[in-house]
Amino acid sequence: MAVKETLSYSDGVKGWPSFYSFLPDYLIGMNSFFYSFHQGQLYRHNTNELRNNYYGVQYNSNITGVFNVQPQTIKLFKTMSLESDAAWGVKTLETDLGNGDMLSTYFEQKEGEWFSFIRNKSTTVNFKLRSANGIGQIAAVNVAFVGIDIVFNVSLGSIISIGDTLYHQVTPTSSRPTGIITAINQATNTVTIAVVLNMPLASQFAFYYKDPVAESHGARGYFMRFQLENTDTTPVELFSVGSSVMKSYP
């Protein structure tokens, strides 16, 4: 089913700058007011306190933009800042190398602007990122009081932590998630999985993947496209959107 929108034309920019979700039958400006007809009813706009409500349907405000400085350079987008009188959520955030999103609660107000580090999606799994770290071959799999204990003959290292997802290799080109690590014993090189998603076997190679939201290092790519969303029903102004951008050094 095709998506329908209402477009508005601006004489100042000589273009179509805004898209609206509501679909009127007819629009007209008269006596400094804006009117529309919908299903035989007459409506006067910009007079009610409940913003983004059209014909009894509540909508959200969405703005799409792109950061594309030095388009021939792969960049690291570290942060996003909003010069606004309210926080916005980042509904979608994507580059040519990945994607993410940020809740409005991620933004903190600093010196009059809303600021947040760029976060990956909670479902992001990219083994090419720094979030993936190898451990080694599994020495033994023991049934524990809750879940299983997985023992290694090598040190687990200092980066692994509770909440990471453990994976085990099934074939040279495929792996399966074992489960989320719930306990770590560095003295015996043992990790505990309380809820087992896929049972591993001894001698299989194991690695872990850090929480993609907590371990976000920004977004990499030639460009970054984002869609902001605001759900407030009171007036909100957005003046500018910024980002801390630097050249990416792999």
* Cα–Cα distance measured from residue 219 to residue 95, given in angstroms and rounded to the nearest whole number: 7
Q: Report the pLDDT value the prediction gives residue 2, as an integer from 0 to 100.
A: 63
Residue 152's pLDDT band (boundaries 50, 70, 90)? very high
Tens digit of each residue's pLDDT (9 = 90 or more) over 73-107 = 999 899 999 999 999 999 989 998 877 788 888 89
pLDDT at 192: 97
pLDDT for position 216: 78
Could you tell me the pLDDT band of residue 185, with boundaries at 50, 70 and 90?
very high
Does residue 1 have a pLDDT over 60? no
The token duo for 21 is 């979700």
The stretch 20-44 carries a mean pLDDT of 90
Q: Give percent above pLDDT 70 in the chain.
A: 98
**What is the predicted pLDDT for the residue at 166?**
97
- Residue 167: which of 125, 130, 129 has the closest Cα? 125
In this predicted structure, which of 9-18, 124-133, 141-150, 186-195 has the lowest mean pLDDT? 124-133
pLDDT of residue 3: 60
Query: DSSP readout, the chain?
Result: -----EEEEETTTTEEEEEES---SEEEEETTEEEEEETTEEEESS-SSSTTEETTEE--EEEEEEE-SSTTS-EEE-EEEEEESS--EEEEEEESS-EEEE-GGG-EEETTEEEEE--B-TT---TTSTTEEEEEEEEEEEE-SSSEEEEESS---SS--TTPEEEEEEETTEEEEEEEEEEEETTTTEEEESS-SS---TT-EEEEE--TTTT---EEES-EEEEEEE--SS---EEEEE--EEE---
Mean per-residue pLDDT for 188-205? 96
pLDDT of residue 97: 81
| pLDDT value of residue 130 | 76
Note the pLDDT of residue 190.
Answer: 97
- How far, in Å, CA of 169 to CA of 176, rounded? 6
User: What integer pLDDT is reported at residue 112 of this predicted model?
Assistant: 85
Can you give the residue ranges of every domain in the chain?
6-58, 61-124+216-247, 132-209
Q: pLDDT digits over 208-234, tens only?
A: 999 888 777 788 899 999 999 999 999
**pLDDT exceeds 90 at position 168:** yes
- Please answer whether residues 188 and 155 qualify as being in contact, where contact means their C-beta atoms are separated by less than 8 angstroms: no
Q: What is the CATH number of domain 61-124+216-247?
A: 2.60.120
Mean of the per-residue pLDDT values for the chain?
Answer: 90
